[in-house]
């Protein structure tokens, strides 16, 4: 039996109550590996939930604790695992680059899922520990030429939390963090052009952007903001939408909301950037576009999408079962099993 330690981030609970994509993936992997018989210890905040063993030194997420010093909490959290490294056969790191600095001090192999590069400035850490640890990319598009990778493993979701719907409403949906990178302003412009209601759901990550660019356009009729939603409301919104609008302004490494939308049978209209051509099959599970005019045309062609085919493709590629299988293969390869 593989003794596996999973290191989750601690900005949010694992799994998150609302927002927290890295925490969500760490949780899904932990539960998947428990179901396959591995001895899993999840290192996360004390309010986290797992069917494995929970280990925590941080009581609550620092994003929910205004008194917390995030860096202090991170150091205490990571070191708590590293001091116990000998108890495990493998460490699966979802905490970005900081845990890599321990890899030369422990004998336990470490696998790091790179959930994206927040900045070119963090690359020297990944490059420095390239031969001491192992990396997995979450899309082929997010690989860096200077790094070695064990595999690409797409993020998986618990498809049972999403309901396939054939009959839907007449609204478009934006679901994600509210930040210029995610293209919310562009989604609003699209909604105005095609005269469709737009529902906005997500965490306000850039308060200035929201206050100056977005909030003045929210009228409660054509453009509505419903806040940062939890799993049940998210499923309802995704399943009832004509399409998820994902006009991103950066090379997104994955995009959980895209997979979640397609698992409801809801197509995605996305800018042709980053991992979007890997996630979306143009004309089958949505449309890839390059500008607003192409997005307007895509809305007019949503009736051509077979929502059941969209759903089937998403379940095949982005289920928690598929992700668990792929990671288990990587684990066994690293451990020589």
pLDDT of residue 317: 96
Q: Are residues 148 and 261 in the same domain?
A: no
Q: Are residues 182 and 238 in the same domain?
A: yes
Q: Are residues 76 and 180 in the same domain?
A: no
Q: Are residues 132 and 185 in the same domain?
A: no
Q: Are residues 51 and 121 in the same domain?
A: yes
Q: Are residues 164 and 303 in the same domain?
A: yes
Report the mean per-residue pLDDT for the chain.
96
Whole-prediction pTM: 0.93
Q: What CATH number is given to the structural domain containing 256?
A: 3.40.50.2000
pLDDT of residue 115: 96
Q: Are residues 95 and 181 in the same domain?
A: no
The 3-class secondary structure across the chain, one letter per residue, is CCEEEEECCCCCCCCCCCCCHHHHHHHHHHHHHHHCCCEEEEECCCCCCCCCEEECCCCCCHHHCCCCCHHHHHHHHHHHHHCCHHHCCEEEECCCCHHHHHCCCCCCCEEEEECCCCCHHHHHHHHHCCCCCEEEECCHHHCCCCCCCCEECCCCECHHHCCCCCCCCCCEEEECCECHHHCHHHHHHHHHHHCCCEEEECCECCHHHHHHHHHHHCCCCCEEECCCCCHHHHHHHHHHCCEEEECCCCCCCCCHHHHHHHCCCCCEEEECCCCHHHHCCECCCEEEECCHHHHHHHHHCHHHCCHHHHHHHHHHHHEHHHHHHHHHHHHHHHHCC
Structural domains in the chain (count): 2
pLDDT of residue 167: 86
Q: Which residues of the chain have pLDDT under 50?
A: none
Q: Are residues 72 and 176 in the same domain?
A: no
pLDDT of residue 337: 76
Q: Are residues 72 and 97 in the same domain?
A: yes
Domain range enclosing 231: 159-317
The predicted-structure confidence for 69-115, as pLDDT tens digits, reads as follows 999 999 999 999 999 999 999 999 999 999 999 999 999 999 999 99
Q: Are residues 113 and 91 in the same domain?
A: yes
pLDDT of residue 21: 92
pLDDT of residue 118: 85
């Amino acid at each position: 039996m593989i003794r596996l330690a999973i290191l989750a981030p601690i900005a949010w609970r694992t799994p998150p109550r609302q927002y927290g994509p890295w925490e969500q993936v760490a949780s899904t992997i932990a539960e998947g590996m428990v179901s396959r018989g591995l001895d899993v210890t999840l290192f996360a905040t004390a309010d986290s939930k797992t069917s494995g063993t929970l280990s925590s030194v941080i009581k609550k997420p620092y994003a929910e604790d205004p008194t917390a010093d995030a860096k202090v909490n991170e150091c205490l959290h990571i070191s708590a695992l590293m001091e116990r490294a000998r108890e495990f056969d493998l460490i699966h790191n979802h905490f970005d680059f900081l845990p890599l600095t321990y890899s030369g001090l422990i004998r336990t192999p470490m696998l790091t899922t790179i959930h994206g590069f927040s900045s070119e400035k963090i690359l020297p850490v990944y490059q420095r520990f390239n031969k001491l640890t192992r990396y997995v990319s979450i899309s082929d598009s997010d690989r860096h030429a200077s790094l070695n990778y064990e595999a690409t493993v797409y993020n998986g979701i618990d498809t049972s939390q999403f309901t396939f719907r054939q009959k839907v409403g007449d609204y478009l949906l934006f679901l994600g963090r509210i930040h210029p990178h995610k293209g919310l302003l562009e989604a609003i412009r699209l909604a105005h052009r095609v005269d469709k209601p737009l529902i906005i759901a997500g965490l306000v990550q850039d308060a200035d952007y929201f206050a100056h660019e977005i909030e003045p356009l929210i009228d409660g009729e054509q453009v509505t903001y419903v806040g940062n939603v939890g799993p049940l409301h998210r499923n309802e919104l995704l399943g009832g939408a004509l399409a998820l609008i994902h006009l991103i302004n950066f090379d997104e490494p994955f995009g959980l909301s895209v997979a979640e939308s397609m698992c409801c049978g809801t197509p995605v209209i996305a800018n042709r950037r980053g991992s979007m051509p890997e996630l979306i099959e143009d004309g089958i599970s949505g449309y890839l576009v390059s500008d607003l005019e192409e997005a307007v045309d895509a809305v007019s062609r949503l009736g051509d999408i077979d929502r059941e085919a969209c759903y089937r493709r998403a379940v095949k590629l982005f289920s928690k079962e598929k992700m668990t299988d792929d990671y288990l293969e990587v684990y066994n390869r690293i451990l020589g099993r």
